[in-house]
Chain A
Amino acid sequence: MPKGPRTETVYKMPEDTTPSASGEACGCSGVPEQQLRLTENLDREFGDVLLTVPDHSWKGYGLTRALDRRVILGVFEKLKEDSKFLFSMLVDVTCVDWLDQREERFELVYQLLSLTFNHRLCLKVAVPESDPEVDSVRPLWPAANFMEREVWDMFGIKFRGHGDLRRILMYDEFTGHPLRKDYPLRRKQPRVPLRSPELRNTASDMQRPVLCALPVRQNFKTSE
C-alpha cells in the first residue's frame, strides 16, 4: 500500500457511542448525548428566539428549530462563533414551497453541523410570498454562495448581502422559478436566440453584467 502523507486511525469514537442502527429507528429513544446537550444549550441561549417545531425523524440528529427571518444573521453568527455551539459548517440551504397550505409560503431550511462537537441542527425560516427576501449568510459561511444562488434560481427568494445573486442551474434567459409549486412540470420555455458575441451576457433579472461576458473584439497582443 502506498504511503501517503498520513494514514492512521486518528478517529476516536465519542464516549456516547450512538446505539447501533439495529436499535431504535424512531426519534424517541437513543438520542445521542451531544444532541441532548445541544438542545439544553439552545433552550438556554435562544429560548425566546428559536421555536420548537417537530423534529426530523432521525434519532435526535434531526433536531429542528424555527426562527424569524429578521433575526437570521444574529442567530447564525452566534451559532457559529459561540463556544457552546461552534457550527463550523453550513451543510445545506434549501427551500420548500408550501403554496396555500401555510400562511407564509416559503420555508427556508438550513442544516448546520459542528465538527467540534459532532452535533447537527436544522433551522427553518418562514418567508412570505409578498416579501421574499432574507439576509444572506454568505458572510459567515462561503458555502452559502452556490446554495443561496440555487434557492434564488429555483424559488425566487432574494438574499440581501449575497453580492452575486444570479441563476446557477438554469440559463440566464429562463423565466420563472421552476421548483415553485405553481410552475408546471412540463412547461416549455421560449427559444433563446443565439447569443451574439457583441452582446454582454447579462442576467436578465439582475440587470448587471457578469464575468461570463463574452469579450468584445480582443486585440492580439504579442507583448506588453
Chain B
Amino acid sequence: MGDVRNDWQPRDVGDVSLSKTMVLNLGPSHPATHGTVRLVVEVDGERVERCDVDVGYLHRGFEKECEHSTYNQVIPYADRLNYVSPLINNVGWVLAVEHLFGIEVPPRTQYIRVMLSELSRITDHLTCLGAASMELGAFTVMLYLMQAREELYDLIEAVTGARITVSYMRVGGLREDLPEGFKEELLRRFEIIKKHLADADRLLTKNRIFQDRLSGVGVIAPDEAIAYGLTGPVLRASGVNYDVRKVFPYSGYENFEFDIPLGAKGDNLDRFIVRFNEIFQSMRIAEHAMRKLPGGPICVDDPRVIMPAKDEVYDSIEGMISQFKIVFAGIKPPPGSIYFPVEGGNGELGFYVVSDGTGQPYRVHVRPPCFLAMGIFGPLVEGYMIADIVPCFGLMNMIGGECDR
C-alpha cells in the first residue's frame, strides 16, 4: 500500500540545455494515445521522471449545448460521450431524467435497457483490449476482438438502426421494440464471440512477452485508487469491490445474477484480465435478460413524457397539441436536481441534471470516469519506462468523448 501521491506540482523547466532530462511530447495525435490526449513527459533516458496529461482536445461543449436543447434532444449528444458504449450513456441520461420526473418504466423496458447496456459494455471492453493488445504488438488479437465486436454491432444495428450513434433510449421508454428473432441471433452470436475470445486468450495469457509487458507495471494500490476517485475495471483490478450495478442497482439490475471479477495487484495485467472476465459476466446478464424478457409495453403511459399514438395525433386536437408541445417545448420535469450514477464501461458514469421546470435542462454535468483516470495517470507512470506508458494508457481506456465531453 503506497502513500497516496498527491503532490504533483508543475515545475519550471528551467534551463533545459543543462539538465539531464528531456521533455517529450506524446500526442495529441499519436497512434498509441488513442483518443486525443497530449502527454508531456520529462524523461531521463528511457525512464519517465514526470508526466503531465493535457486533456481537452475533444472538448465539444456538451454541457453548454445541453442547456440549449430539450431533454430528448440531449440523447444524440449523449451517444457521443463514450462513443464505444453509447447505449450506456443513453441509459444513464434517460434514467436521470426519469428520476427527476419520478416515473418508472415498465419491466420490459428495464430488461431491454439492461441487455443493451451489457452489449455496449462488451463492445467497450473489446475495443479496449483489442487496442491495448495491438499496441503491445499483438495485432492478430486486435483483429479477432474487432471481429467479435462486429457481431455485436450487427445486433445493435438490428435494434437501433445504427452501430454507434444509436439514440435509442427515450425519456420514459425506448424508440421501438426489439426486432423478430433477436434472441436467437444474440445467442448464436455470443457463441461466435466466445470463440474469438478463446482464440485471443490462447494467444495472450501464456505469452511470455504479454506477461512481462503488463505484469507489475502501473500498479495502483487500493486506497490510492479510491482517493483518486477511480471506479470501474481500474478500481476492481486494484481489489476494491465496487460496482454501481451491485451497490446502487438501477433499471432492475438487482434481479440479475453476475459476478464481479476482482484483481489482486492493481497492475496492467489485472486490468486486462478484469475487463476480459467482465465480458463473460456481461454476456451472462444479456443472456438472462433475453431468456426472461417480459412482455408488455415499452414506454411508460405518461402523457408528460411520451408522445401520443399517431392516430390520436392526426385525429384528435388533444393528441396534436400534446405532440406539438412535447416536440417543440420539450418535456418538463419538475424543478429539482439529481445526481444519478450508472456503471459505464470505465466506471461510475454520473449525470448531474438541474431542472428549472422548463423544457430545457438548466445545467447538465457528466461525471466521466476516464477523466479521473487521467488524473492519476500522470503520477502513475513516473518511474516507469516510455514503453510502459503505452499499455498503462491503453488499459485505462481513456475515451476522448467521455473524458473531454
Contact = CB atoms under 8 A, between A and B. Distances in A.
B10 A21 contact: no
Interface in A165-179: 166-171, 178-179
A1 interface: yes
A35 B23 CA distance: 49
Interface in B346-400: 348, 350, 352, 354, 362-363, 365, 367, 371-372, 374-376
Interface stretch (A43-51, A127-135, A213-221): A213-221
Given A25-B103, A211-B52, A2 B339 contact: no
A185 B404 contact: no
Contacts of B363: 96-97
B255 A20 contact: yes
A194 interface: no
B371 A21 contact: no
Main secondary structure of the interface of B (DSSP, over half): mixed
Nearest to A200: B13
B138 to A, nearest CB: 15
A169 B56 contact: yes
A13 B277 contact: no
Nearest to B253: A21
A88 B227 contact: yes
Given A10-B241, A142-B227, A5 B339 contact: no
A56 B367 contact: no
B135 interface: no
Contacts of A25: 98-99, 102-104
Contacts of B354: 96
B404 A17 contact: no
Contacts of A142: 4-6, 227-228, 375-376
Nearest to A149: B375
A171 B58 CA distance: 11
B65 A89 contact: no
A55 B170 CA distance: 25
Contacts of A103: none
Contacts of A213: 12-13, 23
A148 B93 CA distance: 23
A182 interface: no
A193 interface: no
A215 B13 contact: yes
A167 B57 CA distance: 12
Interface residues of B, number: 94
Given A11-B241, A142-B375, A209-B12, A58 B367 contact: no
Contacts of A208: 10
A66 interface: no
A219 to B, nearest CB: 5
A174 to B, nearest CB: 10
Contact of A22 (B104, B263, B340): B104
Nearest to B257: A9
B259 interface: yes
Contacts of A76: none
Interface stretch (B14-22, B71-79, B324-332): B14-22
Nearest to A17: B254
Contacts of A219: 17
> Which of A138, A168, A178: most chain B CB closer than 10 A?
A168
Given A21-B250, A57-B102, A143 B375 contact: yes
Contacts of A168: 55-56
Given A25-B102, A94-B365, A215-B22, A5 B260 contact: no
B249 A18 contact: yes
Contact of A6 (B10, B40, B263): B263
Given A13-B246, A164-B9, 15 more contacts: A5-B264, A7-B262, A9-B259, A11-B241, A11-B246, A56-B336, A96-B354, A115-B242, A169-B404, A178-B61, A185-B65, A210-B10, A210-B52, A212-B54, A216-B17
4 shortest A-B CB distances, which residue pairs? Answer: A143-B229, A169-B56, A4-B273, A5-B264
Interface of A: 1-2, 4-11, 13, 17-18, 20-22, 25-26, 54, 56-58, 61-62, 88-92, 94, 96-97, 109, 111, 115, 118, 120, 122, 138-139, 141-143, 145-147, 150, 154, 163-164, 166-171, 178-179, 185, 208-219, 224
15 contacts: A10-B241, A18-B248, A21-B104, A25-B103, A89-B229, A92-B352, A94-B365, A96-B354, A111-B339, A143-B375, A170-B56, A211-B13, A212-B10, A212-B52, A218-B22
